[in-house]
Chain A
Amino acid sequence: MSSRQAPLPSISVDNVAVIRGNRLVLRGLTVSARSGDIIWVRGANGCGKSTLLRLVAGLLDTAAGSITTEGQIALADENLALDPNLTVEKALQFWADMDGASANDRSAALADMDLQALSQVPVRFLSTGQRKRACIARVLTSKADIWLLDEPYNGLDSASCARLDQAITAHAANGGIVFVAAHQPPSINVAHSLILDRAEASA
């Protein structure tokens, strides 16, 4: 009896152009990532970092080119996607139910982001950094292969940054792919640095 293995996660963005609000945000962008890659996406404000992440997440259409992804995707951007009136634990449990994750997965994510002490606090009472950690805990709970993190270090203290670095490194070591869109270079080793220009992108 042979066991069938799940295909390794991968991302292939081929000669993509994106128009948003009558503005050409990305043009001729080609980038690929394979299992274990950590990619730092950088560039000036408005150069299309968030657009690229939403594009890979399947939330935007391309004006030209194609995108192929293999593996489940999780996105952490400026929107928390956590019900503000629920406790951190219950808000994460909702997404655990959506993803078929267990309560143990949720608890492990809370521990990884050092949120156990805040698990019974409603999301609306969290500080900016704590919200960011809760948002990243949602990504961790999802067990997704591909993480798309938009400005994940914003608002985090140094200890939380270190925890996030640890989680990213562990995820890549386990065969996942991580895209980190950030202005500051992450302190972890990145496989590639993708620099986006205003209208044109080069990998």
Chain B
Amino acid sequence: MKAFAALVAREVRLAWTGGGLWLPVVFYLAVATLFPFVTGPDKALLARTGGGILWIAALLATLLPIERLILPDRQAGILDQLAMRGWSDELIATAKIIGQIFAFALPLLLATVVGSALIGLPEAQLGTLLLGLALALPALSGLSVTIAALTAGLSGASALGGLLLVPITIPLLIFGAGTLSEDPRNAMQLLAATALAITALSPFAAGAALRAGRI
């Protein structure tokens, strides 16, 4: 358990030192800041569309840390050393996903409060938006680790990662946007179910990808 905690702590530390923590947050807030420049200062329009924009921004921010999640560890031999110590690839993936939740999902949730203020989102919608993102961000963390494991070492990994991630996240985006409607209950339930399934399956998919990439 101590070793697992040490691996999770390492993931968070690497995110902190390697820009994986603040880059997605800055990107996320930059989108929130730029959006009103495009639509104009129409408060009603911003209130109606702002939540959806933050959802898309969160999804795109997921792409930013992908290159640093698996490839550096594979190249440095860290993954080999962990495998030699009896760590299953699924357990390594789980530690990385939990690390991502701390290093990516939680900061993004905090940034949502700032982002919603920048867009002028109604306060009543903020709670729903935070709840929806809190459900979806662990799934997005799982997907980013999975796609990082799938694309590690491939040429054009970033672009390929984006091409893979965007279609997979469409259900999360649809249900997430649905939670911003007047009656968010059904969409929230569907979002929770989808996010839970993705989060639960991600360690197995990422673990299989790690195994397949071992040479």
Contact = CB atoms under 8 A, between A and B. Distances in A.
Interface in B61-76: 75-76
B77 interface: yes
B84 A57 contact: yes
Given A94-B10, A98-B6, A59 B76 contact: no
B3 A84 contact: no
Contacts of B75: 79
A189 to B, nearest CB: 28
B10 A81 contact: no
Given A57-B84, A59-B83, A59-B84, A97 B77 contact: no
A100 B77 CA distance: 20
Given A59-B214, A94-B6, A85 B17 contact: yes
**A-side interface size class:** 20 to 34
Interface string A67-104: 00000011101111111110000000011011110000
B76 A97 contact: no
B213 interface: no
Interface string B86-102: 00000000000000000
Given A85-B18, A99-B85, A75 B3 contact: no
A95 B84 contact: no
Given A59-B214, A94-B6, A97-B6, A79 B84 contact: no
Query: A-side binding surface: helix, strand, loop or mixed?
Result: loop
Of B2, B14, B76, chain A has the most CB atoms within 10 Å of the CB of B76
A65 interface: no
B85 A79 contact: no
Nearest to B83: A59
A103 B187 CA distance: 52
Query: B-side binding surface: helix, strand, loop or mixed?
Result: helix
Given A97-B6, A98-B3, A73 B76 contact: no
Nearest to A58: B84
B77 A79 contact: yes
**B-side interface size class:** 20 to 34
Given A57-B84, A59-B214, A85-B17, A80 B3 contact: no
A187 to B, nearest CB: 27
B83 A58 contact: yes
Contacts of A78: 77
B215 to A, nearest CB: 8
A75 B84 contact: yes
B83 A81 contact: no
Given A59-B214, A85-B17, A98-B85, A79 B80 contact: yes
Of B14, B80, B83, chain A has the most CB atoms within 10 Å of the CB of B80
Contacts of B82: 98
B30 interface: no
Nearest to B4: A98
Given A81-B78, A83-B78, 20 more contacts: A54-B80, A58-B83, A59-B80, A59-B83, A73-B84, A78-B77, A80-B76, A81-B76, A81-B77, A82-B76, A83-B10, A83-B76, A85-B18, A94-B6, A95-B81, A97-B2, A97-B6, A98-B3, A98-B82, A98-B85
Interface of B: 2-3, 6-7, 10, 14, 17-18, 75-78, 80-85, 214-215
28 contacts: A54-B80, A58-B83, A59-B84, A73-B84, A75-B80, A75-B81, A79-B75, A79-B76, A79-B77, A80-B76, A80-B77, A81-B76, A81-B78, A81-B80, A82-B76, A83-B10, A83-B76, A83-B78, A84-B76, A85-B18, A94-B6, A97-B3, A98-B3, A98-B6, A98-B7, A98-B82, A98-B85, A100-B3
The list of the 5 closest CB pairs from A to B, nearest first, reads A79-B77, A81-B77, A97-B6, A81-B81, A98-B3
Interface of A: 20, 54, 57-59, 73-75, 77-85, 94-95, 97-100
